[in-house]
Structure 1
């Protein structure tokens, strides 16, 4: 089978197309034939070595996919060959097929097609835990979401508006802001032409936001803290511009007794019960049309390097898929 592997961490050119043997499932495992593979910024972190591969080198990147079960190992009783499944899990999805723990696979309802599933498992469950668990958004609250036109951002705008929040986003162009406004945002700030802190204060009559969700990192810190009301929460869940470093925790007191958290999806879906509950909530809002999914870019599997260049160059909107 064909697979994209990283033999040495580095730039997009580190993504190499290899032919490797098809593995056989061991106890508790399933072999999944991918029909669609999700692209996420965490894939870049593994490729560059910012996040070390848990299996060493070489490794297959990719943390999200959908497909069909081809075989199951000993002890797997709730899945069978032919079942449609999807997952967000450990690296290994940039391949025509993969082995994965059956406990990490989520059966797909008829209302969710494979490409939608591959676009939402990591990004959609991230949106779920951010809005419904890390900080439970309630009617009347005001939120700020950076990267509003990204895969998580577009889902978050629709979902948060449905929850009754006033939703402010930031994006890097007028075109991306227009897209955000079409996907639930009440306001979107082009951070290349406007000071987003000043604009947030204007939009909130100086009160600030209840919560800021930030996947950008270095470039938006500490300005994001200045967008919060007293005792507001800063949720930093990504490092698209580089990690936040050298933080003086005293700044949280100075800016209004703020809360800060650095969550990851896998802490919220650590048990199978939590995984299925998170996925069920996501599937419900997608199936009911509350959150519409935009797959705006697709690349053949062998063009994974081009997909990474587009992602890192902030040239993508919505979800991006690799197709084996």
Structure 2
């Protein structure tokens, strides 16, 4: 079968035509893969510097979707999305025509779900929802700033906050990224200004974070979701104490049960067009190009490798 193979750490995957077709064994389901999502975690594992990785050579990508081919637990032909069970981290991932997946990593998709969205929705959609509703507690009429608003999590956070009735300002890093923000939303380019805001959903971190915290109203909330602009920040603690902004951090590992409980509803809303998740789609053979686009920050949405036509 065709699939991607990582044969050497620190190098992008190569397409292989001679991979063995796996078999469904006890506790595993054989899935004919329709699409696999390629993310920064997959690149980190393939670098060899991540704390965990499968033995070489291995098939990358820990998220995907497809149809059940053989299983003791799931009906043949059912659309399922794939996540968990060490996929792409402790064992082969799903960037191949077939994948043998632990049953606990197989999730039945709701009726009408889009296979491409099913392959890539979980992390950005659940992270955005929990950040907006559970951590920031956004309510109608509140002023909300979302940074990294052109990215997958940021764009969904903007949409979810707007649907909650908030007055949303979207911040993007470059002018050309402004077109990726949902239509009708106030957009700032570069370091965010304006305010004051009742809540900050920050997906970028970096040295500009203190200034963004200053834009939050005393007594407001700042949710730290990511750190694409830098993992280290210097805070002046006396001024932070005096300003009195509630600083909260998103930990999706701890919130995994909640995220899985939200998944069906979010996938249904995405598939129905009530929420939009931009995708950059590549053929499986173009995986090295997709890999480089992701590394260089050129991706305009979730990077998805189309393995088989499931339309």
Same fold (TM over 0.5): yes
Instruction: Give the TM-score of the pair, scaled to structure 2.
Output: 0.83
What is residue 291 of structure 2 aligned with on the other side? 308
More off after superposition, 112-121 vs 236-245:
236-245
Matched, 1:213 2:202: yes
Offset at 1:255? 4.3
| 2: CA distance, partners of 1:95 / 1:52 | 24
Residues 178 and 32 (structure 1 numbering): CA distance in 2 closer, same or farther, change over 3 Å? same
What is residue 4 of structure 1 aligned with on the other side? 4
Offset at 1:288? 4.7
**Superposition RMSD in Å:** 2.8
Secondary structure class of the residue paired with 1:26: coil
Q: 1:28, 1:102 within 8 Å by CA — same for their partners in 2?
A: yes
Offset at 1:145? 1.9
What is residue 292 of structure 1 aligned with on the other side? 276
Count of residue pairs the alignment pairs up? 300
**Unmatched segments (≥5 aa) in structure 2:** none
Which of 255, 265, 270 is the aligned partner of 1:281?
Answer: 265
Matched, 1:263 2:251: yes
Offset at 1:315? 1.6
| 1: CA distance, partners of 2:44 / 2:239 | 28
Offset at 1:290? 2.2
Offset at 1:108? 2.0
Residues 212 and 237 (structure 1 numbering): CA distance in 2 closer, same or farther, change over 3 Å? closer
Deviation digits for residues 207-263 of structure 1 (CA, Å, limit 9, x no counterpart):
33413231x333544444333332443333334344336778777425425323141
Residues 281 and 142 (structure 1 numbering): CA distance in 2 closer, same or farther, change over 3 Å? farther
Q: How does 1:105-116 map to 2 (within 5 A)?
A: 105-116=106-117
| 2: CA distance, partners of 1:313 / 1:61 | 19
**Unmatched segments (≥5 aa) in structure 1:** none
Deviation digits for residues 100-147 of structure 1 (CA, Å, limit 9, x no counterpart):
222332222332221122232332222233223333322122222222
Q: 2:36, 2:119 within 8 Å by CA — same for their partners in 1?
A: yes
| 1: CA distance, partners of 2:22 / 2:130 | 33
Secondary structure class of the residue paired with 1:14: coil
Secondary structure class of the residue paired with 1:267: coil
Offset at 1:67? 0.5
Q: Answer 1 or 2: which has greater helix percent.
A: 1
Residues 29 and 228 (structure 1 numbering): CA distance in 2 closer, same or farther, change over 3 Å? farther
Residues 16 and 291 (structure 1 numbering): CA distance in 2 closer, same or farther, change over 3 Å? same
Q: How does 1:1-324 map to 2 (within 5 A)?
A: 1-10=1-10, 13-18=11-16, 19-49=18-48, 51-72=50-71, 76-77=72-73, 79-89=74-84, 90-91=87-88, 92-182=93-183, 186-191=185-190, 195-196=191-192, 199=193, 202=194, 204=195, 207-214=196-203, 216-218=204-206, 220-244=208-232, 252-253=240-241, 255-264=243-252, 266-270=253-257, 274=258, 276-295=260-279, 297-324=280-307
| 2: CA distance, partners of 1:113 / 1:57 | 32
Residues 285 and 163 (structure 1 numbering): CA distance in 2 closer, same or farther, change over 3 Å? farther
| 1: CA distance, partners of 2:114 / 2:176 | 28
| 2: CA distance, partners of 1:227 / 1:178 | 24
Q: 2:162, 2:168 within 8 Å by CA — same for their partners in 1?
A: yes
